Amino acid sequence: MVLAAGLGKRMRPLTDDRPKPLVELAGRSLLDRALDNLAAGGITGFVVNSHYKGEMIAAHMAKRGNVTLSPEEILLETGGGVKAALPWLGDDAFFVVNSDAVWRDGGESTIARMAAQWSGETMDALLLVVPMGAVAGNMGDHPGDYHLETDGRARRRVRGETAPFLFGGIQILHPRLFEGAPDGPFSLNILYDRAERAGRLHGLRHDGEWYHVGTPEELAAAETAFAGDPR
């Protein structure tokens, strides 16, 4: 699943006439880049949610195969959006990718690495985490999100401390994580914290480049890095 329902307020004025996932980076939309990275890792079926200018998302996705749309009348946030799409995501674990997370693989496909790391016996969620020193763009003051334990479990930083890893907006989730989840809008952070308390939240360190593209300034920085890159 690719999350594509946000309002894109921080990307204005580029989102005045289009949803942020259709903003182009080096000649390809953010949404196409996310879908192409998933496909390169072996994923063959996709769900995309939408809200702001959702008709443009629908028209764009009509050009691709194997994409199911999950339109939202009201913004459901990350958790509510995924929960609403569960009927199309099946009974097994699935990927969820933020459309404004842009990355280059290190050696192997990041998606393939995560799939190989996944263990349904020990995990309810596996997050891609990016070393703070490798975070590109204007996030230098970010305190980080997670620590990684030696066994791969992820621990959210507590208030007042810093953490060595940032959540990269790419994850594998199991449907059981949503059992008892609230109705309506809610953040996936609620479910990450629940999984952490159960010892079932894990992280995988990203070994390539990673860019958050949420503002025109961040887009410009990524444009420089991806100039001439077809993907």
Confidence of residue 106 (pLDDT cuts 50, 70, 90): confident
Q: For the domain 2-226, what is the CATH code? A: 3.90.550.10
DSSP class of residue 181? Answer: P
Q: 């300034």: which residue's tokens? A: 217
Q: How far is CA 161 from CA 6, 138, 196, in A?
A: 29, 20, 18
Mean pLDDT throughout 204-216? 91
pLDDT for residue 167 is more than 90: yes
Domain ranges of the chain: 2-226
pLDDT for residue 138 is more than 60: no
3-class state of residue 61 by DSSP = helix
pLDDT at 21: 96
pLDDT at 221: 86
Mean pLDDT throughout 36-64? 94
pTM: predicted TM-score of the whole model, two decimal places: 0.93
pLDDT digits (tens, 9 = 90+) for 80-100: 999 999 999 999 999 999 999
